[in-house]
Structures are given as C-alpha cells and as structure tokens.
Amino acid sequence: MITIKNVLTPNSTLCDVDISSKKRALEIIADIMHEASGKLIPERKIFDALVERERLGSTAIGSGVAIPHARITGLKEPIAVFIRIDNAISYDADDNQPVDLIFCLLVPEKANSAYLNILAQLADGFRRSNFLKRLRSASTNEELYDILVKTKHKPIKTSDQHHH
C-alpha cells in the first residue's frame, strides 16, 4: 500500500509559509513540486494542472484544509507537498472557512487506485480535530513532517473495536 511517507519528503513539508491568496499558494506549491520531481516537470505545467482542477470545484475539504491534486503527464511517481500557511487564506471552501493546511498530490497520468488510497487516508486524517490541532501546533518543518508520516490513519469504525 502506498502511504504518505512514499510521496512526501521533508523538503516538501513547509510550516508557516507567508501566502496571501489561493493563486499564490498554487504557484508556491508548483515551485516546490518542480523541485520534488527532480526538475522533470515545469512549474507552469503543474500550476496549470492544479488551477484546472480547482475550476472543477474547490479542493478545500473543510476545517481549514485543502487537498489540491492533479494527474501529470511525464511524472514517474506520485509526489506530494504539504504547506501550513501563516495566515489562513480564502479558498472557496463549502464551509466558508479560510484554509491554512494544504496537502497537494500529483500523480502520473496513468496512476491507478493506489493514489486514491492516499487521498482517502488523508481526508480521513484531516477530519480528526486532534490531528489538525497537532499539525497547527508543530513549530518546525521536521515536526510537521513527522506528524504527517507517523500518524496512522484508519477508517473510523463504530463496531469491531476488539483485537483478535
């Protein structure tokens, strides 16, 4: 199973980035993604793909979190970026909450369901207020990265809590 650790690197995890708009956030993410792809994919191509995806509907999932994502031709492996924004920005979220946590995932054009699995794990984690609290209180990039890759996300089940 592909996990967050397979796609996110410490270099692509940034805390307290000063960003004033959604467009600027996507530009900065495209820039980091360009580096993360080994300079394989041009910033412009990444930015355009992310903007195109936002046009279909905001990738904000509520509670100040957005998960922009796109398929990119020429990308070999999925790559991710996580940024925590200093002052939350407007992101056209359904709950009208400004966004301060952005996890962006790029996947190869022919990517299969493995990548949807990562998005599902994330969305699940980002629905937990204690996980969000930890992300918002981390004081360094390293701490932020550790929280993201070390937290185990399991689907919430109401029954079947006992161990076999």
Catalytically annotated residue among 34, 69, 162, 163: 69
Whether residue 9 is contained in a domain is answered as yes
Bridge partners of 80?
Answer: 105
Residue 156 predicted with pLDDT over 60: no
Domain annotation covers residue 39: yes
Does some domain include residue 107?
Answer: yes
Residues paired with 99 in a beta bridge: 89
**Whole-angstrom Cα distance, residue 155 to residue 139?**
28
d(C-alpha 76, C-alpha 61), whole Å = 27
CA distance 78 to 40: 13
Residue 155, domain member (yes or no): no
Dihedral of CA atoms 160, 67, 6, 11 in degrees, nearest 10, equals -140
Per the domain annotation, does 99 fall within a domain? Answer: yes
Q: Which domain holds residue 37?
A: 4-150
- Does residue 34 have an active-site annotation? no
The pair phi, psi for residue 75, each rounded to 5°, is -80, 135
Domains in the chain, number: 1
Three-class SS state of 115: helix
- In this prediction, residue 153 has a pLDDT band, given cuts at 50, 70 and 90, of low
Q: Which residues 6+ apart lie within 8 Å of 80 measured at CB? A: 4, 7, 8, 12, 36, 103, 104, 105, 106, 118
Is residue 159 in a domain?
no
3-state per-residue secondary structure call for 55-70:
HCCCCEEECCEECCEE
Measured distance CA(20)–CA(127) in Å, rounded: 25
Within a domain: 112: yes
> Domain of 125: which CATH number?
3.40.930.10
Residue 41 placed within a domain = yes
User: Global pTM?
Assistant: 0.89
Query: What is the percent of the chain where pLDDT is above 70?
Result: 91
Predicted confidence (pLDDT) per residue in 92-129, tens digit: 999 999 999 999 999 998 877 777 788 888 888 898 99
**pLDDT per position as a tens digit, 27-38:** 999 999 999 999
